[in-house]
Amino acid sequence: MQPPPYALVGIFVTLMGLAIGSFLNVVIYRLPRDLSVSFPPSNCTSCHAPIRWYHNIPLLGYALIGGRCAACRAPVSIRYPIVEALTGALFLWHFLVIGPEWILAVRLAFAAAMVALFAIDLEHQILPDEITLGGIAVGFAASFAVAPGWMSSLIGIVAGGAIPWAIAELYLRVRGVDGLGFGDVKMLAMIGAVLGWELMLLTLLLASASGAVVGVGLMLAGRGTRQLKLPFGTFLAVAAIVAGLHGAPLVEWYAGFYR
């Protein structure tokens, strides 16, 4: 049997991303509120009326209802189609970079987790253990079959947890305030489990640099203070996806200086 054409596989992966993005919206809304992500079925958050199946079709459903609940006409957050479109685009991006390899399944699951953590941390400033601790376990288990390999994954877990914990402890002792939450520690350990220790360090560097730029920009714009707290998990999520897809050549280039 001939393998399906490359373009058809890319379309399938994108559609799968849109569908998973629809589920991620449920996770993003319910998990921080300690609600079940499987029961009850999708319903309006205002009137709790069940959502018809065709209104649950990614992107199209939002357009059909005009951004308002079909039952009570309450506004539906624009976050829903954004998360769906973003997840579909990320899945396609991963497929184009990685191709139809076994590691693609791991990286797609990782991308979905990063989308959920990005949105939850941005809105609630929490990083649920269900995602971070579960991601550590799944990432380490997968490392026995695909890159980065179990040793790099194990070092990534340990270093990913230890480095931000040490930074947060030092910041607390010097400044007397918490600099990082323990959720960030577990999230970076998860990133280390999936990407390995080298790309975990690159992720931390990229997230710290981008967070500093955004923080300084907000203060210069008069929208922040010296006590401004940015949800660092959102920066980690973006940096992890970039590092996972395009970080290996940068790591190789940097390592070349020490050979």
Inform me whether the pLDDT recorded for 178 exceeds 60: yes
Same domain, 115 and 217: yes
The confidence score (pLDDT) of residue 228 equals 57
Question: Phi and psi for 248 in degrees, rounded to 5?
Answer: -60, -45
Average pLDDT over residues 164-186: 75
- Of 22-26, 114-118, 166-170, 177-181, the one with minimum mean pLDDT is 177-181
Average pLDDT over residues 47-58: 90
Q: Is 222 helix (H, G, I), strand (E, B) or coil?
A: coil
Same domain, 135 and 74: no
Q: How many whole angstroms separate alpha carbon 45 and alpha carbon 29?
A: 9
Q: Which long-range contacts (CB under 8 A, 24 or more apart) does 39-45 make?
A: 44/69, 44/71, 44/72, 44/74, 44/76, 45/74
Q: Which of 55, 75, 100 is the last residue of a domain?
A: 100
Average pLDDT over residues 47-56: 89
Same domain, 234 and 113: yes
Question: What are the tens digits of pLDDT across the range 123-172?
Answer: 999 999 999 999 999 999 999 999 999 999 999 999 999 988 887 777 66
The confidence score (pLDDT) of residue 177 equals 60
Question: What are the tens digits of pLDDT across the range 207-234?
Answer: 999 988 988 888 887 765 455 567 899 9
Inform me whether the pLDDT recorded for 32 exceeds 90: yes
Token pair of 121 as six digits? 């941390």
Same domain, 95 and 106: no
Same domain, 109 and 231: yes
Question: What are the tens digits of pLDDT across the range 67-90?
Answer: 999 889 999 999 999 999 999 999
Residue (of 180, 167, 197) closest to 233 by Cα position = 180
Percentage above 90 pLDDT, the chain: 68
Average pLDDT over the chain reads 90
Question: Phi and psi for 59 in degrees, rounded to 5?
Answer: 65, -55
Q: How many whole angstroms separate alpha carbon 173 and alpha carbon 189?
A: 23
Q: How many whole angstroms separate alpha carbon 230 and alpha carbon 125?
A: 9
Percentage above 70 pLDDT, the chain: 90
Q: How many whole angstroms separate alpha carbon 185 and alpha carbon 170?
A: 14
Residue (of 254, 234, 246) closest to 114 by Cα position = 234
Same domain, 76 and 189: no
Better-scored residue on pLDDT, 3 or 136: 136
Give Dmax (Cα) for the chain: 65
The confidence score (pLDDT) of residue 44 equals 87
Q: How many whole angstroms separate alpha carbon 152 and alpha carbon 258?
A: 19
Q: Please count the structural domains in the chain.
A: 2
Structural domain containing residue 118:
102-259
Yes or no: say if 190 and 160 are a contact pair by the CB < 8 Å rule: yes
Question: Phi and psi for 58 in degrees, rounded to 5?
Answer: -50, 135
Same domain, 114 and 91: no
Same domain, 85 and 170: no
Same domain, 134 and 65: no
Cα angle at 176 between 174 and 178, to 5 degrees?
105
Q: Which of 85, 100, 115 is the last residue of a domain?
A: 100
Same domain, 151 and 183: yes
Cα angle at 91 between 112 and 81, to 5 degrees?
70
Q: Which of 81, 100, 119 is the last residue of a domain?
A: 100
Same domain, 156 and 70: no
Beta-carbon contacts of residue 151 (< 8 Å; ≥ 6 apart):
none
Same domain, 77 and 183: no
Token pair of 206 as six digits? 């990229």
